[in-house]
Amino acid sequence: MKQGFRAAVLLGALLGFGLGAPVHAATDAKKSQSVAKKSGSKDVAAAKQSGKAAGAPARKSVATNAGKAPAKSATAASKAPVKSASRAAPQKTASAQGSKKSMRKVSMADVDPRRLMLYSASALVIDQETGQPLLEKQSDTVVPIASISKLMTAMVVLDAKLDLNEVIAIGDDDVDGLKGTRSRLPVGTTMTRETAMLLALMSSENRAAHALGRHYPGGMPAFVRAMNQKAQVLGMSSSRFEEPTGLSSNNVSTAKDLARMVAAAARYPEIRHFSTTEEARVDLNGHVRDFHNTNALVRSDNWEIGVSKTGYISEAGRCLVMQARVADKPVVIVLLDSAGKMTRVGDANRIKRWMESASLVPDRRPV
């Protein structure tokens, strides 16, 4: 009996152990899952806290949205490169600027002036800042200069410091007996020396210019001597003056000499003002007359002219000299013996366009 009881107890114990093992295993599995969940929660919390401490919104966004919304993750990913690009933009911009051709100022000598097709027989453009010629065409040829002579006439009068308010009269001796040119100043017309200079420089009035010389101390011979002495002082070694108007073909010079004369004339405020005056209304013995500048360029908004003078006789052709600012550069322009009434103006405009186009060229220096 005792042995039977022991066997029954042992069998019950064995049965109890076998049935309890699965229960304990399931319990242990649940405990493991719970521990894993708690551990995962702590990791997530730690990641959130780390993101806040580091101040990294992108990391926070990726961490927050990674497991919930793939679409949002894609959106965040698409935004990330934009932010990165915007931060790198200054460097890319600098690189792009470096890759572009930089620009630099250059000498006009870097551009071939022969493409200009100038129609003036003699031409010269001088850079007043350096004294260097920017363009030359037969600049040493001695030719008649016509009314360009009147710039020298004005300088001689101003150098003598004569009273500009003194009244002078147009006389018979002032009438052109050489070329027979007309004038709007009848014999007997009176005007101040200042008005005579204005009309001589602006409208190229020959009688006004001749009267200025005739009313010079010592008369016309003394005046012509003063003109040639002034030319020598200026270094105009190839120039000769015979009278103050330029009607004589014996008034001769070269483009180089005239560039010196124009640069000197630009130092006289009166010459700068009178030679660039567009038009003037003058009362001559009770008759009001309108006079205009013989150089149409002084009326152009595209030109900044300091000194201007035109000239024409058949022996000299059409002539034009100017001191001007072109392409932000002070220059003297001399154009002599131009064929055609408007050719000298056309040549001046061609020179201007050439200088403006040549003032900036690509600099191919390595970046």
Intra-chain end-to-end CA distance of the chain, in Å: 111
Averaged confidence pLDDT in the chain: 78
Lowest mean pLDDT among 160-174, 236-250, 335-349: 335-349
Percent of the chain with pLDDT over 90: 64
pLDDT tens-digit series, residues 187-214 = 999 999 999 999 999 999 999 999 999 9
Residue 29, pLDDT > 60, answer no
- Could you give the C-alpha distances from 2 to 11, 12, 105, 134, in angstroms and in order? 14, 15, 124, 138
Global pTM reads 0.69
- The torsion defined by the Cα of 349, 351, 354 and 360, in degrees rounded to 10, comes to -110
- Could you give the C-alpha distances from 182 to 177, 179, 187, 207, in angstroms and in order? 10, 9, 12, 9
pLDDT tens-digit series, residues 63-95 = 333 333 333 333 333 333 333 333 344 444 444
Tokens standing for 285?
Answer: 């013995």
- Are 272 and 255 contacting, i.e. CB atoms less than 8 angstroms apart? no
- Active site residues per annotation: 147, 150, 204
- Are 251 and 143 contacting, i.e. CB atoms less than 8 angstroms apart? no
192 three-state secondary structure: strand
Where residue 331 falls among pLDDT bands split at 50, 70, 90?
very high
Exposed/middle/buried for 221, CB within 10 Å: 0-12, 13-18, 19+? Answer: exposed
Listed residue (124, 185, 180) closest to 319, CA to CA: 124
pLDDT at 341: 85
- Are 241 and 251 contacting, i.e. CB atoms less than 8 angstroms apart? yes
